[in-house]
Structure 1
Amino acid sequence: MALIVSFEELAGAIRELPPSCGPVRVVAVDGPGGSGKTTFAGRLAAALDAQVIHSDDFPVPWDEPPVAWFERVEEQVLGPLAAGRAGGYRRYDWVRGVFADWVDVPVAPVLILEGVSTARRTTPAALTVWVEAPGELRLARALARDGAAYAAQWRDWARAEEKWFAADGTRARADLLLDGATVPGEFVRIQPS
């Protein structure tokens, strides 16, 4: 049986979790591209008054595995937070193909990491969330956002994601499984079998 997720209730539960990265509770929102991760993370961040770091803030070439971007997060954000210090990073401008504005990441009660491979085994997460949706819907969302010219790249990317998720066991380790097909409405929790 599926349950509707209340963002306020989930935010309350997250606030009760012990810190996982120094004094910070890291929430990792993962799942395949186009599944609804960004929308979910944004709504959760609003309920928590928390900052979101998106994988899209970092350069990830189409021809690399969907995990290469994370080293910068570990070095520039998670490492300092684990030591009780603020972190930060330079956001990548995908249109211009350059690093742009600096983003401060203060020590705060909660930080949300959103994107493919954020819930990897090495992430110091207090909570991991897996968001999924049918492949056709994910592709349609991605192409609506990025344009039909990227269809071949998105299909290649989806294969790379599948390979990564299988090797990492990401979905099986998630604390919360969500049906992202309901975006922009409420998210539905998928009960484990």
Structure 2
Amino acid sequence: MSSASSRSNGDPIDDALAAATAAVSALIVAVGAANPVVVLDGRSGAGKSSLARRLVASWPLRGRVQLVALDDIYPGWDGLDAGSVYARETVLTPHAKGGVGVWERWDWERGERAEAHAVDPSLPLVIEGAGALTPETARLADVSVWVEAPSPSRKHRALDRDGDTYRPHWERWAAQEEQHLAAHDPVSLATIVVRVP
């Protein structure tokens, strides 16, 4: 007998992400909706983006799926909470009401909103980012995911990925994540908690 979660390539991070993809996919299928909404949250470097990309690449239902990353929405380095609210108001709420959502990408270099993107309410939606899972967004999600990883691993991955751009802002961003955890307790709102080494 074989399954995605039982095949190992010797890379513990890859194995954890493969198992998480399989587990979340099973929950999506169990929802039984044509356009389910998945909200993925977790601290910086935990593996949210990697999991979201894998999930979209191996989407368990027919047709296309939309992916919105909060990294494209946060209004700058102090914008974790504002980005979460903006995503809820412009993406998740319209999708839940059957309306087209429209969000504008944040241009990090210019410090302003840029081109607009539409979200089709008839298609499934995956939204991922730190701060994504709150009591309000949990009510709009069919499947909510918290991605957990040890602090040293997270920091190594995040700084390895974004290097000198992120390094000066690590503590500043981490403080906003702590505020999000204290205010919203996203772990308790998650349908599933996945762990990445």
Normalised by the length of structure 1, the TM-score is: 0.79
The alpha-carbon deviation at position 107 of structure 1 amounts to 1.7
The alpha-carbon deviation at position 131 of structure 1 amounts to 0.6
Amino-acid identity (%): 34
The alpha-carbon deviation at position 126 of structure 1 amounts to 0.9
- Hey, what does 1:136 align to over in structure 2? 152
**Deviations 1:13-69, CA, capped at 9 Å, x for gaps:** 3133155xxx742111001011000000111112224211111111333235x2111
Residue of 46, 51, 55 corresponding to 2:66: 51
Asked if 2 retains the 8 angstrom alpha-carbon contact of 1:87 and 1:104, the reply is yes
List runs of 5+ in structure 1 lacking aligned partners. Answer: 182-193
**Deviations 1:61-103, CA, capped at 9 Å, x for gaps:** 3235x21112322332223222212212121222343333321
Q: Does 1:172 align with 2:188?
A: yes
Which amino acid is 1:44 matched to?
L
**Deviations 1:140-162, CA, capped at 9 Å, x for gaps:** 22212222364342122112212
- Hey, what does 2:11 align to over in structure 1? none
Aligned length, in residue pairs: 176
Q: Does 1:120 align with 2:126?
A: no
- Hey, what does 1:155 align to over in structure 2? 171
Q: 1:43 to 1:72 in 2, by over 3 A?
A: same
List runs of 5+ in structure 2 lacking aligned partners. Answer: 7-15
- Hey, what does 2:42 align to over in structure 1? 31
Asked if 1 retains the 8 angstrom alpha-carbon contact of 2:21 and 2:51, the reply is no
Distance 1:106 1:34 in 2: 29
Which amino acid is 1:148 matched to?
D
Asked if 1 retains the 8 angstrom alpha-carbon contact of 2:21 and 2:55, the reply is yes
Distance 1:44 1:108 in 2: 18
In the TM superposition, structure 1's runs of 4+ consecutive aligned residues that sit over 4 Å from their partners are none
Please, which moves more after superposition, 103-112 or 116-125?
A: 103-112
Asked if 2 retains the 8 angstrom alpha-carbon contact of 1:93 and 1:100, the reply is yes
- 3-state DSSP of counterpart to 2:82: coil
Cα RMSD over matched residues? Answer: 2.5
Distance 2:58 2:111 in 1: 33
Residue of 107, 115, 123 corresponding to 2:121: 107
- 3-state DSSP of counterpart to 2:161: helix
